[in-house]
Amino acid sequence: METNTTSDIKVITSPTSKINSVDFDNLIFGKEFTDHMLICDFVNGEWQQPEILPYAPFQMDPSSRVFHYGQAIFEGMKAYKDESDAIWLFRPDQNYERFNKSAVRLAMPEVPEHIFMNGLKQLISIDKEWVKKGKGNALYIRPFMIGTGVGVIASPSQEFRFCIILSPVKSYYSGEVKVVIADHFSRAANGGIGAAKAAGNYAGQFYPTKLANEKGFQQVIWTDDATHTKLEEAGTMNVFFRINDTLVTAPTSERILDGVTRKSILALAEREGIKTEVRPITVDELVVAHQNGSLKEIFGAGTAAVVNPIVGFQYKENYFELPKLEKLLSLEIKEKLNDIQYKLAEDTFNWTVKI
Ligand SMILES: *Cc1c(COP(=O)(O)O)cnc(C)c1O
């Protein structure tokens, strides 16, 4: 075990590595973790010294606020290794900003940039062998924060723990995805926490998604809570519709998470001369577009899979199958975005950040 303090992060490296016990060709998303983690506590109104430690369970008081009142937020991002072994992040500033927006909404302290960014970079540098080369391979980065204050008192915690853990992943193929359009359940509501990456948003999704799974659908397309007529997100991803050759996606709102993949796809499409429209899109419009043949594709967009093509959707009693196209625009866009992420194409947007 080696202990040293570089800049302001205390580092205790693990005496052993698990890396040789991991089958990198058959990774299950989010199941394996690297040898180290970053922890930083917020106590007495101040962030303490961040620590990089061997990955391990930690003890918490059973009355910790997070267990009772759900003060928990997270981020999801990836690191990629290029052909010359350099490691790159994709738009980490966007995740950092969003993390602190989520923190504010959940009455949690914002994490200073040097703790989030330097912590992230140093942690990945220590576990760099876990980032494998080659398209599809990546290191999934999970920063999160929980309320650790003790006492079952329904008031915000005064103590928090910020952590970063890392998980090696392969490109994510979800198989054929059929979706149900929500006509009763909601993921988010005006004035709620849908725009924050709050753990509770996911907990609330599990039950309706389980009901959809039981009927043979993999995901739910969430609609606006007031009328259930506007198409807003696909599972835990933003959602795009290709009508003829135009990509349509809903504007972000209090109910829709401002996805980094979503905004990157919009920028990339614009650069490539693909028409985009950011506007509300309704279930009725979708059904009409399906009937007149102008609906070509539906896909989810998010960090884990980049894009997730959807093959059909159920609305009330009817199932609508999408055409089987030879060339999916969604997959072409995924390719282009991946090429930027893996440094195989010029990053004209300056999105990538070297570690
Ligand atoms: C994380 C997330 C997304 C996708 O965001 P990315 O930044 O593209 O990964 C979309 N919708 C919801 C609800 C999310 O939690």
Nearest CA to ligand 1 atom 13: 236
Task: Tell me how far apart the alpha carbons of residues 107 and 70 are, in angstroms, rounded to a whole number.
Answer: 11
Phi first, then psi: give them for residue 259, nearest 5 degrees. -75, 140
- Give the mean pLDDT of the chain: 96
Instruction: Tell me how far the alpha carbon of residue 4 lies from the centroid of ligand 1, in angstroms.
Output: 36
The three-class DSSP label of residue 79 is strand
Nearest CA to ligand 1 atom 12: 236
**Residue 123 pLDDT > 90:** yes
* pLDDT band at 121; cut points 50, 70, 90: very high
Task: Tell me how far apart the alpha carbons of residues 8 and 112 are, in angstroms, rounded to a whole number.
Answer: 13
CB 250 within 8 A of CB 278: yes
Is the CB of 102 within 6 Å of ligand 1? no
* pLDDT band at 175; cut points 50, 70, 90: confident
For 2, 19, 21, 34, 54, the CA distances from 16, given in Å and listed in that order, are 11, 9, 12, 11, 9
* pLDDT band at 181; cut points 50, 70, 90: very high
CB 316 within 8 A of CB 228: no
**Residue 6 pLDDT > 80:** no
Instruction: Kindly report, residue by residue over 198-238, the tens digit of the pLDDT.
Output: 999 999 999 999 999 999 999 999 999 999 999 999 999 99
Instruction: List beta partners, residue 169.
Output: 138
Instruction: Kindly report, residue by residue over 73-98, the tens digit of the pLDDT.
Output: 999 999 999 999 999 999 999 999 99
Instruction: Tell me how far the alpha carbon of residue 28 lies from the centroid of ligand 1, in angstroms.
Output: 20
> What is the predicted pLDDT for the residue at 3?
54
> What is the predicted pLDDT for the residue at 42?
98
Instruction: Tell me how far the alpha carbon of residue 319 lies from the centroid of ligand 1, in angstroms.
Output: 26
Atom number of ligand 1 nearest to Cα 235 = 13
Tokens representing 101 are: 């927006």
> What is the predicted pLDDT for the residue at 217?
97
Interval 99-118 mean pLDDT? 98
Task: Tell me how far apart the alpha carbons of residues 275 and 45 are, in angstroms, rounded to a whole number.
Answer: 48
Task: Tell me how far apart the alpha carbons of residues 327 and 322 are, in angstroms, rounded to a whole number.
Answer: 13
> What is the predicted pLDDT for the residue at 212?
98
Is the CB of 306 within 6 Å of ligand 1? no
Atom number of ligand 1 nearest to Cα 187 = 13
Is the CB of 257 within 6 Å of ligand 1? yes
Instruction: Tell me how far the alpha carbon of residue 243 lies from the centroid of ligand 1, in angstroms.
Output: 23
Nearest CA to ligand 1 atom 3: 237
b/e map 308-342, b = 16+ CB within 10 Å: bbbbebbbeeeebebeeeeebbbeebbebbbebbb
Instruction: Kindly report, residue by residue over 307-338, the tens digit of the pLDDT.
Output: 999 999 999 999 999 999 999 999 999 999 99
Instruction: Kindly report, residue by residue over 127-171, the tens digit of the pLDDT.
Output: 999 999 999 999 999 999 999 999 999 999 999 999 999 999 998
CA 44 to centroid of chain Cα atoms: 31
CB 322 within 8 A of CB 298: yes
Task: Tell me how far apart the alpha carbons of residues 282 and 296 are, in angstroms, rounded to a whole number.
Answer: 16
* pLDDT band at 4; cut points 50, 70, 90: low
